Amino acid sequence: MCISPNTPPLGVISFWYVIGFYPLLLLLLLYVWITLYDKGYKCVVFITRPFHCCMARFWSMTGIEPSFTHSIASIYILCFTQLAVTSFKILSFAPKKETLGFNNTKFSYDMKQDYFKGVHGAAGFFAILVLLFLIVLPTLYILLYPFKWFHKLLDCLHLRKQLLISLGDVFTGPYKNGTENTYDYRFMAGLYLLARTIILSQFIYGYYFILSIPISQACCSFLLAVIVIIFRPFKRNIHNFAEFLIMFISMAFGCIGSVQSFVFISTSAPYFVNYYRIILSILGAVVSTTNFLVFGIIITGYIIYQVYKMIKSCHRYRKRYNPVANRNQEEDYQSLVGDDDDWIADCMENPLNYKEKHVSGRMYDTQKDRQPIATTAATYGSIN
């Protein structure tokens, strides 16, 4: 994308910040507009009220509860990738003559531009600020949000605001929170953002990101898939299974991308063939082992366990709602009548074949319930 014929690569890459900050700018304008509407400015109320009435009917019909906090969380996730990629691309470097000296380092997308000198210094400083305040700090906040000591630290720093608490609850809502005899897995929300930051940080290596990004994506997706299938951090099992499939597909795409990058690099730089061949062999062994563990052991064992639970629940249901069968299975149970095949219930028709059985019963002390005998006649209406 070229803004003008003479635009340098650094300017073209920096222009992508407009795309990253555009949703945040719309969110800020929406917040200002809602504030003016709540304060009752006539022009704002006159324009907004018809749309508000229509949306209120739509929300009541669909059961949707509008939340400004959820909007902030959704827009932040949309901006996260674009801001991180643009910042890491601006900070990407390409060493000159295969030396790692800072004086010889060049900007990866423009070999005429010295690294962190001149215009690139200002752009790099802005990229570091974006990474610090919009990527790293929010990721650490969501990652450490479930811990009590972190909330005490926020209290000491006077940063425990209601908006931050609400955002933390929104991001960590789908995960188990430690109640109902479960572990607290709310840190998984921050772990996903941390893994995504690690993957996107591979853009800083310049040309070599075409291979490092697929490899890091495959490794991070594999670790997250194992964590999800073993610990099941989500509250609902369907979410755990869906997340596992997503991570497994992401790992497969990472492996495919690694192979394609290897083919591309081997044709352009043959001296890297042996090095990347070792990496791909290790990656192939990891993928094979993962497939065996997941499809051969973990999923098979999970299916067997679910079938066992289903059979056990059916047995409990039959035992609970079939008391006659349970009573016949008791050892101390004795039938009151004969159990012969030719027994007839009516003893008056066939009294000779009727075999009566007596069951020993416990004699209770009836003297406690015995009433004393009255020896005198009752005189009703007597005053004596």
pLDDT tens, position by position, for the chain (384 residues)?
Answer: 456 677 888 998 999 999 999 999 999 998 899 889 888 888 988 988 888 888 888 777 777 777 888 889 989 998 999 999 999 999 998 865 544 555 678 888 888 888 888 899 999 999 999 999 999 999 999 999 999 899 899 888 888 788 889 899 999 988 998 887 788 899 999 999 999 999 999 999 877 788 888 889 988 998 998 899 888 999 888 888 888 888 888 888 888 887 777 777 666 655 555 656 666 666 667 666 766 666 677 667 777 877 787 788 777 777 776 655 555 555 444 454 455 554 444 555 555 555 555 455 555 455 555 555 555 544 444 444
pTM beyond 0.85: no
Question: Where in the chain are the domains?
Answer: 1-172, 206-322
Give the residues across from 93 on adjacent strands.
107
